[in-house]
Structure 1
Amino acid sequence: MMRCNIEKIIKEKGFLKKYIAKEVGVTPSQLSYWIAMKNFPSADKLFKLARILNCKVDDLYEYEEEIN
């Protein structure tokens, strides 16, 4: 199961989602889709997002093992 940490990181860094979307070059709606995992950023947008948020790409999404 994947978990999205984008919104958490944006809040921790003190940014507004609207500002981050503009810096990445997407609409606020597109950023919301990434956060909701309705779709995912392309590799170049993922790296740009990580650079803007000063984190690693791996920090943006996490894979969690499902425990049965």
Structure 2
Amino acid sequence: MSGTRWQWHDSGSASGHMQRVAASGTYSRMQTAYRAYIDHSTQCEECGHGRVRCKKADELWAAYRAARS
């Protein structure tokens, strides 16, 4: 995933470790795109509450996948 960085995670009593985290801008774009997809697919008559995808849902899913990469 682009827009990631490494961050130290102090686990308290253990020695801790490095973990990959999404940069806040990347996370925000992903979250916004996914929310748009979910909102559409649960309200769209053609999508049947997420069981199938209409053309608009396919476009929103592609936007979400693009935000992830």
Q: Whose helix proportion is higher, 1 or 2?
A: 1
Structure with higher strand content: 2
Question: Which entry has the higher C-alpha Rg, 1 or 2?
Answer: 2
- In the superposition, the TM-score normalised over structure 2's length comes to 0.29
TM-score (norm 1): 0.29
